[in-house]
């Protein structure tokens, strides 16, 4: 009955302009700084174009015109220099395709369309549908999918209603396996940003990490310092990535075999006695088991799997050991590849332990984070069930909610009593984020309410019942930033511009919604600086000074490195670093990581490897005019031999078709390059947008997510391995040469 | 004074921050740019190497664009910075044709030939060019080659470097450190 109830609405609302014109609130240019902030020339924020959240200044020129965004010079995450996305932040603000008013899905006999709505109308609509769901099946049947600062406000709203079903794709589609692996090994997951002492290291190993293509600002900056110092950088990548091209050693590994290499490195380090004996003795559990486990994982064994030279494998291991403990085997970030990702991440965690790098200078430091007191509110009601029950006995080591499990709980095939009936989606374009798009859409269609909060008409907004236009980070307050790093800091975001059109901050939306449910006490602020100044006061820092400086340092809660006097403790079963994991053993998973063989592409098919471009964040920056100009669409990289066999030339447009018969909706240009081997193709994630309301980026390039239909789920924690599909290349037509 | 730029190709990751900063600084219309990223790949997989470079007008000491300009609009200004005087430019395009680096284009707003100015106004005010100021890898250096203590002078003394298309004899003022 509900099938196709929610057509994907590609067209913008009928009668667009009515609400805007009638109230004369359309803005075409920014107000001058003198009008907004007399006497000020810069306003503090932290960047929201990616998740690194560099502290920054929005600046005006002498004429009082808004001019640029620059890094905050005292911020350890950017040291005064933003990446291209941060520099281009104004493009997000000025994007003419932004969502401008609330939209409500409406129905006529001819079909469905979005009707522009006022805020009271939209809030009423959401409240009445939400109330119906709560009355019928409890607040537990509401779920939140979010990413970024706006999502935090909606998390509070969901908790105040009584739901514990809030999730972020940054876990099961990204960092989750790594965090579970580090938690099992060291007792604590790695935070974001990763506490890697890159600037002090003497050897940096990148395996599945692409610094320079992912512009994780402080890490890229510090890698640059390593190049200056002539420090060894070892990059493992089937592709000559930017990092590989800047490395002292590049290991062009056969895709999907990284775990074999990691095991062989550990074998060399143990066999040759290169491990940190004191560290192992003092802090680690399970060394003997590990040693036995690795006996036959020789470089020769790994060479036959990885297509690498065994002597090069040995040499790399020795380079790491020589630098130890000032060595980092980078834990990576987007690690959901083949479904054995927690085990691969465990191997990385264990390798770091053998080298004694965790807790050591030049290795992995102990993250220092300011503790932000929570703004007073009544206790949240305890839900009768939450995301843990949606796992149904699966993914037993997941320590945060698994977005795909919540999608399962929302799907018509969910036979359990714990059903999700309403979705709030904030700042995450699930269509480009979660693989197996058809399943996500089936779950969406099964909902009684879908609310999407975004700044842009991303695809996901086309599936909503109500779309709420969020203002950009430049137009709002958000929570204080307390990113863990070498120094504990607090950074503040204050609005530098008036919200354009009818856009609003998320904290304002949840407050309005909360009133409808009598939940005002949970959102007891008039504007959000009430919260920020209260928190600053509680921490003993001056809010005025914080706004003046944008970012303040606060005392570090602990030592940065292990201290011989004050010995570290580890929150594991044994109280030690668990090379052998009891947590894994107890749940029936391999307590020591083992290599799993993954399927090979059939004849005529290639592995689909995807990655990042330094000027884009996921699928969210494609329409930013600065970044679009810089990189309008991702070409498909093809090895010259493959190109010759297939009769492809630079600039040919191709369609990719996966091994399950799914073809890319759009085409992309071929880029013939020796930076990739003959077994794979490569493209940058986040292109191939199917929503024409994003006029610049619409139909530009291919969506990798669309081709991910064979999802390899990690049994340990539910991560969605996204490299399970192979693709063949079909030529579309010949266009101009790619220069 | 001889202003010059040095770019460390060992560090440049081709992120394009320099390009965005320039676009923003000069409000460059969409589709045009005064700086860009070049990527040069050599070899056959897996024996392959790559260099990334941020490129722009080379501010040549022997600039073909200056020589060929019929109105003296294109000229060498203080510190060796090659500039175009918009009042003199007739939009003939000779400079655009003559540039071996393809650094010039017609400004779609006023029709004049235009390009990178080494941010001469910022530099006169004691600031760095906009691109150099933002670079997150610190791979870009700007300074006066006549100043023996300038970082750029030291770098060029100590490091290997190249210029682009030296065979053209243009004597570029952008140096690529290797």
With a cut of 60, say whether residue A739 has pLDDT above it. no
Using the predicted structure, report yes or no on whether residue A737 has a pLDDT greater than 50.
no
Chain A residues near residue B23 by CB distance under 8 angstroms:
626, 629
Confidence class of residue A19 from pLDDT cuts 50, 70 and 90?
Answer: low
pLDDT of residue A32: 57
pLDDT at residue A4, rounded to an integer: 55
Residue A379, helix vs strand vs coil: coil
A84·B41 Cβ contact <8 A: no
Do A681 and A609 form a contact (C-beta atoms < 8 A)?
yes
| Alpha-carbon span A55 to B131, nearest angstrom | 19
- Among A77, A89, A212, A251, most B C-beta atoms within 10 A, so best to mutate, is A212
Question: A615 and B20: CB-CB below 8 Å?
Answer: yes
| Confidence band, pLDDT 50/70/90 cuts, at residue A467 | very high
Q: Is residue A525's pLDDT more than 70?
A: yes
Burial (CB < 10 A; 0-12, 13-18, 19+), residue A512, is middle
Cβ-Cβ contacts under 8 Å for A548 (sequence gap 6 or more) = none
pLDDT value for A164: 98
- CA A252 to CA A708: how far, in whole Å? 24
What confidence score (pLDDT) does residue A41 get? 84
* Beta-strand relationship, A668-672 and A636-638: parallel
Dihedral sign from CA coordinates of B81, B86, B92, B96: positive
Query: A656-671 b/e with 16+ CB inside 10 Å = b?
Result: bbbbeebbbebbbbbb
**Peptide bond preceding B170 in cis form (omega within 30 of 0):** no
**Is A668 within 8 Å of A635 (Cβ atoms)?**
yes
Looking at the predicted structure, is the pLDDT value of residue A23 above 50? no
Nearest to B106 by CA among B77, B122, B81, B86: B86
Lowest-pLDDT range, A73-87, A104-118, A545-559, B64-78? A104-118
> B21 in contact with A at a CB cutoff of 8 Å?
yes
- Is B125 at the interface with chain A, CB within 8 A? no
How many other C-beta atoms are found inside a 10 Å radius of the C-beta of residue B31? 11
User: Which domains occur in chain B, in start order?
Assistant: 3-177 (3.30.70.20)
Predicted local confidence at residue A39, as pLDDT: 74
Residue A630 and residue B51: Cβ atoms within 8 Å? Answer: no
Enumerate the residues of chain B whose CB falls inside 8 A of the CB of residue A615.
15-16, 20
Q: What value does the mean pLDDT take over residues A187-196?
A: 97
Q: Which of A456, A480, A485, A484 shows the shortest CA–CA distance to A468?
A: A456
Residue A34's pLDDT is what?
Answer: 65
Distances (CA, A) of B177 to A240, B7, B118, B143, B164: 21, 6, 19, 15, 12
Instruction: Compare CB distances from A84 to B17, B25, B30 and report the shortest one's residue.
Output: B17
Show the low-confidence residues of chain B (pLDDT under 70): none
Binary contact (B136, A82; C-beta < 8 A): yes
Parts of chain A belonging to CATH 2.40.40.20: 606-733
Strand segments (E) across A573-663: 577-578, 606-611, 636-638, 653-658
A84 with B11: Cβ contact below 8 A: no
Q: Which residues of chain A approach chain B closer than 8 Å at the C-beta?
A: 67-68, 70-71, 78, 81-84, 87-88, 90, 211-213, 215, 217, 220-221, 223-224, 227-228, 240, 242, 245-246, 250, 252, 614-615, 625-627, 629-631, 639-640, 673-678
Nearest to A84 among B15, B44, B138 (CB): B15
> Mutation test of the interface with chain B: which of A214, A217, A674, choosing the one with the most B Cβ atoms within 10 A?
A674
pLDDT digit string (tens) for A666-704?
A: 999 999 999 999 999 999 999 999 999 999 999 999 999
* pLDDT tens per residue across span A307-328: 999 999 999 999 999 999 999 9
pLDDT, tens digit, 9 for 90 and up, residues A373-423: 999 999 999 999 999 999 999 999 999 999 999 999 999 999 999 999 999
Interface contact flag, B13 A212, Cβ < 8 Å: yes
Q: Measured between beta carbons, which residues in chain A are less than 8 angstroms from residue B24? A: 67-68, 87-88, 90, 626
**Per-residue model confidence (pLDDT) at position A176:** 98
A90 interaction partners in chain B (CB closer than 8 Å): 24
* pLDDT for the residue numbered A378: 98
Chain A touched by B24 (CB under 8 Å):
yes
Query: Would the CB atoms of A221 and B33 count as touching at under 8 Å?
Result: no
Q: Which is it for the CA torsion A482, A488, A493, A494, positive or negative?
A: positive
Whether residue A87 and residue B52 make contact (CB cut-off 8 A), yes or no, is no
pLDDT at residue A157 greater than cutoff 60: yes
Mean per-residue pLDDT of chain A: 94
Chain A closest-CA separation from residue B72 CA (Å): 32
Task: Give the residue range(s) of CATH 3.40.228.10 domains in chain A.
Answer: 188-366+566-586
Predicted pLDDT at A37: 74
Give chain A's largest Cα–Cα span: 77
The angle, 0 to 180 degrees and rounded to 10, between the axes of the packed helices A119-137 and A506-516 is 60
Partners of residue A309 in chain B, C-beta under 8 Å: none
Q: Distance (Å, rounded) from C-alpha B164 to C-alpha B176?
A: 8
Cβ–Cβ gap A675/B17 under 8 Å: no
For A259-308, how does the pLDDT look when each residue is reduced to its tens digit (9 = 90+)? 999 999 999 999 999 999 999 999 999 999 999 999 999 999 999 999 99
Distance from CA of A219 to the nearest CA of B (A): 10
Q: What is the mean pLDDT of residues A23-31?
A: 45
Whether residue A656 contacts residue A636, with contact meaning beta carbons closer than 8 Å, is answered with yes
Question: Domain A188-366+566-586: which topology?
Answer: Dimethylsulfoxide Reductase; domain 2 (3.40.228)
DSSP 8-state assignment for residue A737: P
Q: Are strands B161-162 and A726-733 parallel, antiparallel or unpaired?
A: unpaired
pLDDT score recorded for residue A421: 98
Cis peptide before A37 (omega within 30 of 0): no
DSSP per-residue letters across A554-597 = ---SS-SS--SSS-----STTSSEESS-HHHHHTTS-SS-----
ipTM metric: 0.96
CB A543 within 8 A of CB A491: no
Q: Is A240 in Cβ contact with B41 (below 8 Å)? A: yes
User: Which CATH number applies to A606-733?
Assistant: 2.40.40.20
Tokens 């009133």 appear where? A515
Is residue A688 within 8 Å of A664, Cβ to Cβ? yes
For the segment A711-731, the average pLDDT, to the nearest whole number, is: 97
């Amino acid at each position: 009955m509900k099938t196709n109830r929610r057509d994907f609405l590609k067209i913008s609302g009928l009668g667009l302009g009515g609400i805007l014109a009638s109230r004369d609130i359309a803005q075409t240019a920014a107000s001058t700084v003198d009008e907004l902030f007399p006497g000020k020339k810069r306003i503090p924020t932290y960047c929201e174009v990616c998740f690194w959240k560099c502290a920054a200044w929005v600046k005006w020129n002498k004429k009082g015109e808004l001019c640029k965004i620059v890094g905050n010079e005292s911020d350890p995450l950017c040291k005064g220099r933003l990446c291209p996305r941060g520099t281009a932040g104004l493009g997000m603000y000025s994007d003419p395709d932004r969502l401008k008013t609330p939209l409500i899905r409406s129905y006529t006999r001819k079909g469905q369309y979005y009707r522009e709505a006022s805020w009271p109308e939209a809030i009423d609509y959401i409240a009445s549908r939400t109330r119906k769901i709560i009355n019928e099946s409890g607040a537990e049947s509401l779920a939140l999918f979010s990413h970024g600062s706006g999502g935090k406000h909606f998390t509070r709203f969901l908790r105040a209603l009584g739901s514990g079903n809030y999730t972020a794709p940054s876990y099961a589609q990204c960092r989750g396996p790594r965090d579970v692996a580090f938690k099992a090994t060291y007792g604590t997951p790695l935070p974001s940003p990763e506490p890697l002492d890159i600037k002090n290291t003497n050897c940096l190993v990148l395996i599945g990490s692409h610094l320079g293509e992912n512009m994780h600002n402080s890490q890229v900056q510090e890698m640059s310092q390593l190049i200056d110092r002539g420090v060894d950088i070892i990059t493992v990548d089937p592709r000559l990535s930017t990092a590989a091209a800047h490395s002292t050693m590049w290991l062009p590994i056969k895709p999907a075999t990284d775990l074999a290499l990691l095991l062989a490195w550990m074998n060399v380090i143990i066999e040759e006695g290169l491990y940190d004996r004191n560290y192992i003795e003092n802090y680690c559990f399970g060394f003997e088991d590990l040693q036995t486990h690795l006996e036959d994982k020789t470089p020769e064994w790994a060479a036959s799997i990885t297509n690498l030279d065994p002597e090069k494998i040995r040499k790399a291991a020795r380079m790491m050991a020589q630098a130890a403990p000032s060595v980092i085997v980078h834990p990576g970030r987007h690690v959901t590849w083949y479904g054995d990702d927690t085990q691969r991440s465990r191997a990385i965690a264990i390798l770091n332990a053998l080298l004694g790098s965790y807790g050591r200078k030049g290795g992995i430091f102990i993250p220092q984070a300011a503790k932000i007191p929570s703004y007073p509110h009544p206790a949240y009601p305890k839900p009768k069930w939450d995301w843990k029950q949606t796992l149904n006995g699966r993914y037993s080591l997941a320590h945060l909610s698994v977005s795909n499990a919540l999608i399962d709980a929302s799907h018509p095939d969910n036979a359990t009593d714990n059903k999700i009936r309403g979705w709030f989606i904030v700042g995450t374009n699930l269509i480009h984020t979660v693989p197996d798009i058809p399943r996500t859409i089936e779950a969406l269609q099964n909902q009684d309410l879908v609310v999407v909060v975004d700044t842009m008409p991303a695809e996901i907004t086309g599936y909503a019942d109500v779309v709420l236009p969020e203002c950009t980070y430049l137009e709002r307050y958000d929570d204080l930033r307390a990113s863990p790093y070498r120094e504990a800091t607090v950074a503040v975001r204050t609005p530098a511009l008036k919200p354009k059109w009818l856009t609003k901050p998320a904290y304002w939306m949840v407050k309005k919604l909360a009133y409808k449910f009598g939940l005002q006490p949970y959102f007891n602020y008039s504007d959000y600086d009430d919260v920020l100044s209260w928190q600053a006061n509680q921490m003993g820092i001056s809010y005025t000074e914080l706004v003046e400086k944008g970012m303040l340092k606060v005392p570090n809660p602990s030592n940065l490195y292990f201290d011989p006097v004050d010995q570290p403790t580890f929150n594991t079963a044994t109280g030690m670093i668990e090379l052998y994991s009891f947590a894994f053993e107890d749940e029936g998973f391999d307590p020591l990581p083992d290599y799993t063989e993954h399927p090979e592409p059939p004849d005529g098919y290639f592995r689909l490897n995807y990655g990042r471009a330094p000027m884009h964040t996921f699928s969210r920056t494609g329409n930013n005019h600065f970044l679009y100009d810089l990189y309008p669409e991702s070409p498909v990289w093809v090895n010259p031999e493959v190109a010759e066999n297939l009769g492809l030339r630079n600039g040919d447009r191709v369609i990719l078709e996966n091994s399950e018969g799914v073809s890319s909706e759009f085409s992309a240009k071929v880029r013939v390059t020796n930076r990739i081997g003959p077994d794979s193709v490569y493209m940058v994630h986040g292109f191939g947008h199917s929503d024409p309301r994003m006029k610049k980026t619409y139909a530009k390039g291919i969506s990798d997510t669309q081709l991910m239909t064979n999802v390899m789920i990690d049994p340990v924690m539910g991560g969605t391995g996204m490299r399970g599909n192979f693709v063949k290349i079909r030529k579309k037509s010949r266009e101009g040469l790619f220069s | 004074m001889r202003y010059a730029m040095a770019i460390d190709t060992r560090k440049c990751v081709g992120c394009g921050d320099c390009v965005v900063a320039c676009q923003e600084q000069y409000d460059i219309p969409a589709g045009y740019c005064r700086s860009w990223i070049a990527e040069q790949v050599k070899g056959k997989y897996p024996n392959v190497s790559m260099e990334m470079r941020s490129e722009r007008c080379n501010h040549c000491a022997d600039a073909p664009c200056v020589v060929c300009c019929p109105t003296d609009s294109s000229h060498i200004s203080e510190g060796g910075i090659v500039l175009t005087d918009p009042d003199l430019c007739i939009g003939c395009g000779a400079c655009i044709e003559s540039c071996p680096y393809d650094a010039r284009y017609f400004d779609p707003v006023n029709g004049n030939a235009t390009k990178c100015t080494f941010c001469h106004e910022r530099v006169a005010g004691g600031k760095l060019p906009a691109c150099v100021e933002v670079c997150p890898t610190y791979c870009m250096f700007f300074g006066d080659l006549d100043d023996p203590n300038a970082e750029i002078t030291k770098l060029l003394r100590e490091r290997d470097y190249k210029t682009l298309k030296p065979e053209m004899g243009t004597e570029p003022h952008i140096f690529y450190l290797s």
